[in-house]
């Protein structure tokens, strides 16, 4: 399938929709926590980071639509960690697996433009198919990333409704005019060109374990016309039934994300692949 590294590529949303139709809605989080590296019999080193990352990719490439490396767990190893992340992103593109850099970047002005340049510009060693963004300096502060993603055929996932307990204090604020609702509405405006035709390229991050929050806050995710990145499947407690119940009419746009639920099956490639296959079959 085309990757964001190919000239003349389709927009991210269209490519993601095609990949989900072909492979299913699984995104595998690549989260090389020190404890997980130890459980695999690896040390907390750059070489362990590389072994872990490329092993996960090899295992899930035939099954997953996307992989989502957690940038912080590469950054903690400094420049050598970023070099491993660059290698992983390139290997995923070569394998035809879409990538979501889970960087949660958010800032203003030239700083936001710099983040956009790193993660979304053609020719950047860190360029992924998409990147997660934090909009809590205001949605419009993300404009440099939104515009560069559109120009380069890449996508973004904007944090909207996360499942961590602290998130509600900000995201639920405003009640029927909540911050989360306004983020969803802003994403819908960005995607309006694609409404009724294909997925737009501005997605949202909505936790798979948010329960009734979408209904309680009056958020219509189907109206966003963009992909929904839903972390929390598996080890965090969400099931495939929970996804259907939580997302309702927006479920076809949901990219269900499992990390520990699959990664703890390692370090053998065959075991990791079976865990990914079992997860896909349940969706």
Q: What is the full DSSP assignment across 71-120?
A: THHHHTTHHHHHHHHHHHHHHHHHHT-EEEEEEEE---HHHHHHHHHHHH
Catalytic choice (9, 33, 104, 143):
104
CA-CA-CA-CA torsion sign (170, 175, 179, 181)? positive
Q: In the structure encoding, which two tokens stand for residue 54, read together? A: 């490329």
Cα distances from 244 to residues 80, 205, 250, in angstroms, run 40, 16, 9
User: Peptide bond preceding 267: is omega within 30 degrees of 0, i.e. cis?
Assistant: yes
Q: What is the full DSSP assignment across 121-163?
A: STT-TT--SEEEE--TT-GGGGHHHHHHHHHHT-EEEEEEE--
Integer Cα distance of 103 and 115 in angstroms:
10
104 is catalytic: yes
Query: 190-226 as b/e, with b when 16 or more CB fall inside 10 Å?
Result: bbeebeeebbbbbbbbbbbbbeebbeebebebeebbb
What's the residue count for the chain? 283
Q: In the structure encoding, which two tokens stand for residue 180, read together? A: 């989360």
User: Which are the catalytic amino acids?
Assistant: 104
């Amino acid at each position: 399938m085309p990757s964001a590294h190919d000239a003349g590529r389709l927009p991210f949303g269209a490519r993601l929709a095609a990949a989900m139709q072909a492979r299913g809605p699984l995104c595998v989080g690549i989260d090389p926590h020190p404890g997980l590296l130890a459980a695999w019999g690896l040390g907390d080193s750059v070489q362990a980071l590389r072994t872990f990352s490329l092993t996960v990719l090899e295992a899930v490439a035939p099954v997953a639509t996307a992989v989502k490396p957690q940038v912080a767990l590469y950054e903690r190893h400094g420049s050598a960690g970023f070099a491993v992340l660059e290698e992983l992103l390139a290997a995923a593109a070569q394998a035809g697996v879409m990538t979501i850099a889970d960087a949660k970047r958010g800032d203003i002005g030239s700083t936001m433009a710099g983040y956009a340049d790193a993660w979304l510009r053609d020719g950047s060693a860190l360029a992924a198919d998409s990147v997660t963004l934090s909009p809590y300096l205001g949605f419009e502060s993300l404009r440099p990333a939104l515009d560069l993603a559109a120009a380069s055929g890449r996508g973004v996932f904007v944090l909207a409704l996360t499942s961590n307990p602290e998130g509600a204090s900000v995201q639920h604020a405003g009640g029927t005019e909540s911050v989360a609702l306004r983020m969803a509405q802003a994403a819908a405006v960005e995607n309006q060109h694609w409404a009724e035709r294909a997925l737009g390229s501005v997605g949202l991050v909505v936790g798979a374990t948010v329960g009734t929050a979408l209904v309680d806050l009056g958020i219509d995710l189907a109206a966003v016309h963009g992909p929904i990145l839903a972390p929390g499947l598996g080890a965090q407690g969400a099931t495939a039934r929970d996804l259907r119940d939580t997302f309702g009419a927006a479920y076809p746009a949901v990219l269900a994300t499992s990390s520990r639920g699959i990664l703890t099956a390692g370090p053998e490639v065959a075991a990791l692949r079976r865990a990914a296959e079992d997860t896909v079959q349940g969706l």
